[in-house]
Amino acid sequence: MTDTANGPGNPGTAARIAFVAAAFDTAQAALAELESRYGNCRIEEADVIVPLGGDGFILQTMRRYIDRNVPFFGMNRGSIGFLLNKYAVDDLPARIAAAQAVELHPLHMTAYTESGEVHQSLAVNEVSLLRQTYQAAKLRIFIDGVARMPELICDGALVSTPAGSTAYNLSAHGPIIPLGSDLLALTPISAFRPRRWRGALLRHAAKVTFEILDPDKRPVSAVADDTEVRHVHKVEVVEDSALTLRLLFDPESSMEERILEEQFSP
């Protein structure tokens, strides 16, 4: 992961811009306003993609168009907007040209279900395992093939990227990871036994494998950002270093600054 001001390869002021918007009213109104000002390039011809919505929408958009190998300059028309810039119509090409680029490698999840299916998905923020019923989940956790946690009784567990460390990971009392640290966070969710285990920081290339113990009685779902697979019995998580996503931020509100601010917020 890299973070570079005015990073090489940023689109210039003559960039071809493709706008995409979430389905809700504020996002659709923003799409109409921007199209009337700048037009709307086809995705296949765009130099930059501008998602309009919330964090969930930009995550969906990045996964959908990851093969386009173009940067994303999101603008917030949702609620939190941690991965997005402030919405403004004026001088958009100049903002994009001056933006700070952050390169992210997503997590690759392979989930094996009780029925024998294999599901694969990408996650920019985190891969989480969650209990499906009133009973706590029982997980065994392997790091690079070594069983480091023979049994974790919990509501779930997650593996987070630095970009996602201020999202669900932070809510589960996991650590905030600075950009460029080449680390992943492994964080339990409401751990019951061992009660005092707070998780671990792992090198970015580590392979994390979860085995679900007693899956018939204690079923578990696996979620890669917003893609859910139910009734899993094993889940493998590893950084996909072959894929790179590029997010653009206004220099005054860079992602590195946002993550730093979160570490000092009350």
Task: Enumerate the active-site residues.
Answer: 55
**Which of 81, 105, 92 is CA-nearest to residue 48?**
92
Rounded-to-integer distance, Cα 115 and Cα 222, Å: 15
What percent of the residues of the chain are helix, what percent strand, and what percent coil, each to the nearest 5?
20, 40, 40
46 phi, psi to nearest 5 deg: -80, 150
User: What length is written for the chain?
Assistant: 266
Give the 3-state secondary structure of residue 223: strand
DSSP-assigned letter for residue 68: G
